[in-house]
C-alpha cells in the first residue's frame, strides 16, 4: 500500500504516473485517432500533472507508434480486420504498462482506439496480481459495450471487441491475439454510459450478468447514485479496497461536449457528469490505471475542445479539486 504519507493512493508507492502514449488506430477504420496522444501532449498534459506534484515517466520518452512491430501483411480473418497488428501492438503495450505497475506507479494510457484496452488491462492485471495477489476490477465508461466476439461483430473492428478478449469469451485461439490470458471476471466489470449496444452484445451482457448503467439509469438515479452503486458492486467481499482500472472512451460524453471521436452517439454524459465520475473515483484511492481513448483530432471543427476535455478528465482522475 502507499508509503507516501500525503498520498491517498492505496496501490501506488509514490506520486508517480507512468504515461503511455498509444498512437494506434488499427482497431477501427478512421484515420486520425492515432494523433490523439500527440495532441494531448501538445496541450501540456505532462506539465499539468507535474504542477499537481506528480513525477511523470513517459514510456519510451515519446509517443509510441509501434510501427516497427507491425507484421508485413495482415489479411482479414473472416471479417476481423488487422488481427495480427492489433495483437502484436497490444502485446508490447501490455509489457509497457506492466512495467509501470511493477515500479509502483499509477498508469495512464492515452489513445488511440479502444482496442488498446486489451493491452492496458492485461498489463495492469498482471502487475496487480503479482504485487498484491488481487484481481483487477474495471469501470468501462463508454457509449458502447465493446464486448462483441469475432462471431457477433457486425463491423469486424476490434475496438468493438476488447472486453470479450479480456474476459475469455472468444472461442478457441484467435490468430495474432492468442497470447491474451483472460484476466477480467464478469462480476469485476461495471459499465457506465451505454447507449449504443449491438443486439448480440445485449445478449452477452445478460448471459454474463454484467452490471451496466446505461444513460437510462443515469437519468433515473443521477450520476452520484450510479457511482455509489458502481463502487458497491465492485466492493463485494473485499471491504471496499480492491484495485480499479478505469477505461474511459471519450464518446461516453455527449458529442456536443466532445465531438472529435470516431463513433459519436447522441444522448451522452454531460461535462460535469464525466468529471464527477472521475473525481469520485479518485477519492476512493483505489485507482491504479486510467485509459483515455478514442480522441480523434481529425474529426470535427473544434478538436481542441475535445482534447482539452480529455486533459481535464485526466486531471480530475489524479486529484484536481474544484476548491
Residues in contact with ligand ARG by the rule CB under 6 A: 114, 144, 146, 148, 153, 155, 157, 159-160, 198, 249, 251, 263, 294
279 near Mn ion (CB under 5 A): no
Q: Which is nearer to Mn ion, 15 or 90 (CB)?
A: 90
Positions marked catalytic: 114, 142, 144, 146, 159, 249, 251, 294
Smaller CB separation from Mn ion, 136 or 147: 147
Closest approach, Cβ 156 to ligand ARG, in A, equals: 8
Q: Which is nearer to ligand ARG, 199 or 239 (CB)?
A: 199
Q: Is residue 201 close enough to count as binding Mn ion by CB under 5 A?
A: no
Q: Which is nearer to Mn ion, 251 or 279 (CB)?
A: 251
For 194, what's the count of Cα atoms within 13 Å in the CB-facing half-sphere?
22
7, burial (CB in 10 Å: exposed 0-12, middle 13-18, buried 19+) = middle
Question: Residue 50 has which C-alpha cell?
Answer: 507535474
Side-chain-side CA neighbours of 159 within 13 Å: the count stands at 24
Residue 137, SS3? strand
DSSP label of 98: H
- Residue 174 is given by DSSP the state -
In the complex, least distance from residue 281 CB atom to Mn ion, rounded to whole angstroms: 18
Cα-Cα end-to-end distance for the chain: 27
| Residue 103, all three cell numbers | 515500479
CA-wise closest residue to 119 among 89, 82, 163 = 89
To ligand ARG, the closest distance from the beta carbon of 196 in angstroms equals: 7
Residue 291 in contact with Mn ion, rule: CB under 5 A: no
Residue list 103-142, contact with Mn ion (CB under 5 A): 114, 142
User: Least distance to Mn ion from the beta carbon of 197, Å?
Assistant: 10
Residues that bind Mn ion (CB under 5 A): 114, 142-144, 146, 249, 251
Amino acid at each position: 500500500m502507499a508509503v507516501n504519507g500525503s498520498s491517498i493512493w492505496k496501490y501506488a508507492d509514490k506520486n508517480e504516473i507512468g504515461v503511455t502514449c498509444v498512437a494506434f488506430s488499427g482497431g477501427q477504420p478512421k484515420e486520425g485517432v492515432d494523433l490523439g496522444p500527440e495532441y494531448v501532449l501538445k496541450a501540456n498534459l505532462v506539465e499539468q500533472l507535474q504542477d499537481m506534484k506528480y513525477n511523470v515517466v513517459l514510456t519510451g520518452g515519446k509517443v509510441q507508434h509501434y510501427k516497427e512491430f507491425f507484421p508485413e501483411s495482415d489479411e482479414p480473418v473472416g471479417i476481423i480486420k488487422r488481427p495480427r497488428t492489433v495483437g502484436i501492438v497490444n502485446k508490447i503495450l501490455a509489457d509497457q504498462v506492466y512495467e509501470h505497475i511493477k515500479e509502483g506507479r499509477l498508469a495512464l494510457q492515452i489513445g488511440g482506439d479502444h482496442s488498446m484496452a486489451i493491452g492496458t488491462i492485461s498489463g495492469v492485471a498482471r502487475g496487480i496480481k503479482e504485487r498484491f495477489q488481487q484481481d483487477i476490477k474495471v469501470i468501462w465508461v463508454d457509449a458502447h459495450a465493446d464486448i462483441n466476439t469475432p462471431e457477433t461483430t457486425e463491423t469486424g473492428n476490434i475496438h468493438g471487441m476488447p472486453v470479450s478478449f479480456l474476459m475469455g469469451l472468444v472461442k478457441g485461439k484467435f490468430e495474432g491475439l492468442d497470447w491474451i490470458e483472460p484476466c477480467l471476471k464478469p462480476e469485476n466489470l461495471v459499465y457506465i454510459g451505454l447507449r449504443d449496444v449491438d443486439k448480440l452484445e445485449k445478449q452477452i451482457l445478460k448471459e454474463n450478468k454484467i452490471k451496466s448503467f446505461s444513460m437510462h439509469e443515469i437519468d433515473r438515479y443521477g450520476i452520484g447514485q450510479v457511482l455509489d452503486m458502481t463502487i458497491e458492486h465492485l466492493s463485494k467481499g473485499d471491504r471496499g479496497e480492491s484495485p480499479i482500472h478505469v477505461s474511459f472512451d471519450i464518446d461516453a460524453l455527449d458529442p456536443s461536449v466532445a465531438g472529435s471521436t470516431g463513433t459519436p452517439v447522441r444522448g451522452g454524459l454531460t461535462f460535469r457528469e464525466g468529471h464527477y465520475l472521475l473525481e469520485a473515483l479518485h477519492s476512493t484511492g483505489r485507482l491504479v490505471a486510467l485509459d483515455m481513448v478514442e480522441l480523434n483530432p481529425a474529426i470535427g471543427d473544434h478538436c481542441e475542445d475535445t482534447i482539452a476535455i480529455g486533459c481535464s478528465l485526466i486531471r480530475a482522475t489524479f486529484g484536481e479539486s474544484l476548491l
